[in-house]
Amino acid sequence: MLPRLRRSWPVVVSLLAVLVFLPASAQPARSRPYLFCFWNIENFFDDRIDPGREKVDREYDQYFAKNPEALSVKLERLCQVLFGKEMNDGKGPDILALAEVETSQRAVELLRDTFNRKLKDRTLHYKHSVLLDPRGGRSIATAVISRVPILEKKTHLLGKRLRILKVHLQDGKNELVVIASHWTSRLSDGSDRGRAAYGEIIHRDFAAMYRANPDVDYLVCGDFNDTPEDRSVTESLGATGDLKKVLSLGKKDRPLFFNPFADLARAKKGTHFHKGRPFVFDQICLSPGLLDAQGWSYVNRSARIVEQLSFRGQPDRFGGPMDRRPWKNRGASDHYPVTVQLRVQ
């Protein structure tokens, strides 16, 4: 029997994939839907001064701590996007990964508590949040705020001094691994090597889990500071927009991620703009295990760039201490959030 199963494995994968890539309305009735969102929220700092902040971080730390109105407007703009109609019909993301959050527990708790005050239905409150300080060049980190339970004992950082937060979420017996990352900025010389290192470290961790269990549900999100076509994403991370290639992987093939944001990049969309040029820097990539009908699954063609609070077709940033715009003219962030629909069977 085993040889026959091995020969038929590609057919089994294809049949299972058909279930996942049906419209959401045609999914199995017992599946539970979840909206997953990643967003770089542009220099969010809490309401307390931290003497250890340096350079630009000191500016933002003091700006929000000494200016309650700035913090209040910033939080209101974030909520305006996260709880708009485009986000789960106003209920907000079920799982939210964030970048550029100050490296303090107070910052992530302030966000979580603010979101919960916006939600009249207490069953929708976010009960789980995590942030770990990578102790890198800046005092900002990635964080996860979730309605789905987080296995805190499994939460850790990958690499050294890197913004790569690894979180395990669990719905019943179904576990989802989430990597919330913020890769090296393009502002410095040689930064392409830094971004390649991010991709390689994440892929190495994924490959180890994939070898142990090819069905592992492993999701990578972040502000990659590179596009879906750049080598740090396609080669170092091993993410491709070619769905058939990912579904047809053999046991000896290098494991790959499916990147649904590659199509949006080819369509000249953008999550971040520089000198008017769009870049899809913010992405969500999916392991083969998320493309079957077992455990956690991706709903095909559900990848979205949420283009809210725009100015002249670009994300309307909130700004900082040197921004002289009145509050009514401020946006939320210089990045758009990105989302995908997930289901648990």
Tens of pLDDT, residues 112-147: 999 999 999 999 999 999 999 999 889 999 999 999
pLDDT (0 to 100) of residue 92: 98
Q: Residue 304 — φ and ψ, nearest 5°?
A: -140, 150
Q: How confident is the model over 29-33, as a mean pLDDT?
A: 82
The percentage of the chain sitting over the pLDDT mark of 90, rounded to a whole number, equals 88
Q: Which domains does the chain show, CATH number per domain?
A: 2-344 (3.60.10.10)
- Whether 27 has a pLDDT exceeding 90, the answer reads no
pTM, whole model, 2 decimals? 0.92
Query: Which of 8 and 222 is assigned the larger pLDDT?
Result: 222
Cβ-based burial of 227 (10 A; exposed 0-12, middle 13-18, buried ≥19): buried
Rounded Cα distance between 331 and 164, Å, is: 27
Q: Would you say 226 and 232 are in contact if contact means Cβ atoms under 8 Å apart?
A: yes
Rounded Cα distance between 222 and 179, Å, is: 8
The percentage of the chain sitting over the pLDDT mark of 70, rounded to a whole number, equals 91
Taking only the tens place, the pLDDT of each residue in 279-312 is 999 999 999 999 999 999 999 999 999 999 999 9
Taking only the tens place, the pLDDT of each residue in 189-200 is 679 999 999 999
